[in-house]
């Protein structure tokens, strides 16, 4: 079944580009030029995914997010300009699934769309107990992490952090979200906790911790576990293909 993408974007040329790109890859498109229009369309047409520009003429993207999230769990990907870093993070903390920074390429957009749709289509409860990426295998049932055949010893916090990333594989997690899940709500003002432990994880799990292949840092935003090395730039997969290798 073809997925429907709701594009909420006020600039006509941008809308045209998104429409052409998205329909060219087999999706159906709904378009809205204002935030209000977008919310209405979302309510009446139940799209499978929303592409939302943070800079809208009537109500801002964050407000649209807040209102959509009041009643909908539909994946939302926000598009923002480089200067709007704070807004990006706020949007993610409000429940947006992913983001794109202008100028972005077609491949990046398609990859994010696919990943977000895949995640939302996964049925709860059918989550696999093991997860593999690269030469790493994480077995959630036995709480073991194996790298290239050898066991890796992780501290409890490191393990909790890894599992969080694994459960949200392919999706960006903000510092705040990670702090909340791993350290609890009392520590959400200490992003450096996350940084220190991500550095430790990279040292234990990555070939080159300074240039990680899977434990990716999204500067100013948070972290993302890449499900495949080319996850960000996969041009060949079609919308319905599943690229993960859960076993």
Residue 154 binding other proteins, by CB under 8 A: yes
Q: Long-range CB contacts (< 8 A, 24+ apart) of 38-44?
A: 38/6, 38/8, 38/64, 39/64, 39/67, 39/68, 41/6, 42/6, 42/68, 42/72, 42/74, 43/71
Number of residues forming the site for other proteins (CB under 8 A): 36
Alpha-carbon span 21 to 19, nearest angstrom: 6
CB of 188 vs other proteins, minimal distance in Å? 13
Host H or E run for residue 32: strand 28-32
Tell me if 16 contacts other proteins by CB under 8 A.
no
**Segment near other proteins (CB under 8 A); pick from 89-97, 111-119, 152-160, 236-244:** 152-160
Which residues does residue 99 pair with via DSSP β-bridges, in sequence order?
A: 78
Nearer to other proteins, 70 or 192 (CB): 192
Closest separation in Å from C-beta 74 to other proteins: 30
* Closest to 178 (Cα-Cα) out of 162, 163, 194: 194
Nearer to other proteins, 121 or 155 (CB): 155
Name, in order, each residue with C-beta under 8 angstroms of 181's C-beta and a sequence gap of 6 or more.
Answer: 160, 164
- The residues in 113-142 that bind other proteins, with binding defined as CB under 8 A, are 142
Nearer CB in complex with other proteins: 36/85: 85
Runs of H (alpha helix) within the chain: 12-24, 35-45, 61-69, 85-94, 106-121, 156-167, 175-182, 191-205
Of 23, 57, 129, 143, the residue at the interface with other proteins (CB under 8 A) is: 143
Task: Single out the residue of 43, 73, 129, 196 in contact with other proteins (rule: CB under 8 A).
Answer: 196
* Selected binder of other proteins within 103, 124, 149, 150 (CB under 8 A): 103
Please name the residue that has the structure tokens 């947006």.
Answer: 96
Give the interface segment with other proteins, choosing from 9-17, 50-58, 129-137, 184-192 (CB under 8 A): 184-192
* Residue among 70 and 151 whose Cβ is closer to other proteins: 151
209 binds other proteins, rule: CB under 8 A: yes
Cβ neighbour number for residue 187 with a 10 Å cutoff: 14
From 60-68, 91-99, 164-172, 194-202, span contacting other proteins (CB under 8 A): 194-202
Q: Assess 220 for contact with other proteins (CB under 8 A).
A: yes
Q: Cα(116)–Cα(111) distance, rounded to whole angstroms?
A: 9
Minimum CB distance to other proteins smaller for 63 or for 183: 183
Residue matched to tokens 């696999």: 128
Binding site for other proteins (CB under 8 A): 82-83, 85, 103, 142-145, 151, 153-157, 159, 183, 187, 190-193, 195-199, 202, 208-212, 216-217, 219-220
């Amino acid at each position: 079944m073809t997925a429907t993408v709701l594009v909420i974007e006020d600039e006509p040329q941008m809308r045209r580009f998104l429409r052409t790109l998205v329909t060219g890859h087999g999706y159906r498109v709904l378009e809205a030029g204002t935030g209000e229009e977008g919310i209405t369309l979302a309510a009446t047409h139940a799209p499978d995914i929303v592409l939302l520009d943070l800079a809208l003429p009537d109500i801002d993207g964050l407000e649209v997010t807040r209102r959509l999230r009041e009643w909908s769990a539909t994946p939302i990907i926000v598009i923002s300009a480089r200067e709007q870093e704070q807004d990006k993070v706020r949007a993610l903390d409000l429940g947006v699934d992913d983001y794109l920074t202008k100028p972005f390429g077609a491949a990046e957009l398609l990859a994010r769309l696919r990943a977000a749709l895949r995640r939302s289509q996964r049925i709860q409860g059918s989550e696999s107990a093991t997860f593999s990426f690269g030469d790493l295998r994480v077995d959630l049932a036995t709480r073991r992490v194996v790298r290239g055949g050898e066991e890796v010893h992780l501290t409890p916090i490191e393990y909790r952090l890894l599992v969080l990333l694994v459960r949200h594989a392919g999706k960006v997690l903000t510092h705040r979200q990670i702090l909340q899940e791993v350290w609890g709500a009392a520590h959400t003002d200490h992003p450096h906790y996350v940084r220190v432990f991500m550095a430790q994880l990279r040292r234990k799990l990555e070939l080159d911790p300074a240039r990680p292949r899977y434990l990716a840092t999204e500067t100013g935003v948070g972290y993302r576990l890449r499900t495949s090395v080319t996850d960000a730039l996969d041009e060949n997969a079609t919308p319905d293909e599943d690229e993960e290798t859960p076993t």
